[in-house]
Amino acid sequence: MSTSREKVLGRIRQSLRRGPLEEQTRARLEARLSAHATHSRIAFTADAVERFIDKAQSQAATVARVASAAQVPDAVADYLKSHNLPATVAAAPALRGIEWPRHLTVAFGATRGEHEAAVTPCLAAVAETGSLVLLSGEDSPTTLNLLPDNHIVIVNRSQVVRDFETVWQTLRERDAPLPRAVNLITGPSRTADIEQTIQLGAHGPRRVHIILVDDGEGSG
72-81, 128-137, 195-204: segment of lowest average pLDDT: 195-204
pLDDT, residue 112, reads: 93
201 vs 211, more confident: 211
Evaluate whether residue 164 is within a structural domain.
Answer: yes
pLDDT, residue 4, reads: 76
pLDDT, residue 196, reads: 53
- For the segment 67-84, the average pLDDT, to the nearest whole number, is 96
Q: Are residues 16 and 119 in the same domain?
A: no
Cβ 133 vs Cβ 184: under 8 Å: yes
Q: Are residues 13 and 78 in the same domain?
A: no
Domain that holds residue 55: 48-213
CATH number, domain of 64, equals 3.40.50.10420
Query: To the nearest whole number, what is the mean pLDDT of the chain?
Result: 86
How many domains does the chain contain in total?
2
| Each residue's pLDDT tens digit, 9-49 | 778 877 776 766 666 676 777 777 677 666 666 778 889 99
Residue % of the chain over a pLDDT of 90: 63
Q: Are residues 77 and 103 in the same domain?
A: yes
Cβ neighbors of 197 (< 8 A, separation 6 or more) are none
Q: Are residues 119 and 15 in the same domain?
A: no
Cβ neighbors of 86 (< 8 A, separation 6 or more) are 80, 116
When pLDDT is cut at 50, 70 and 90, the band that residue 147 belongs to is very high
201 vs 68, more confident: 68
121 vs 198, more confident: 121
Cβ 196 vs Cβ 143: under 8 Å: no
Of the candidates 191, 216, 204, which has an alpha carbon nearest to the alpha carbon of residue 67?
A: 216
Evaluate whether residue 124 is within a structural domain.
Answer: yes
| Each residue's pLDDT tens digit, 85-119 | 999 999 999 999 999 999 999 999 999 999 999 99
Q: Are residues 30 and 57 in the same domain?
A: no
- The model's pTM is 0.79
Cβ 82 vs Cβ 111: under 8 Å: no
Residue 218: is its pLDDT beyond 60? no
208 vs 15, more confident: 208
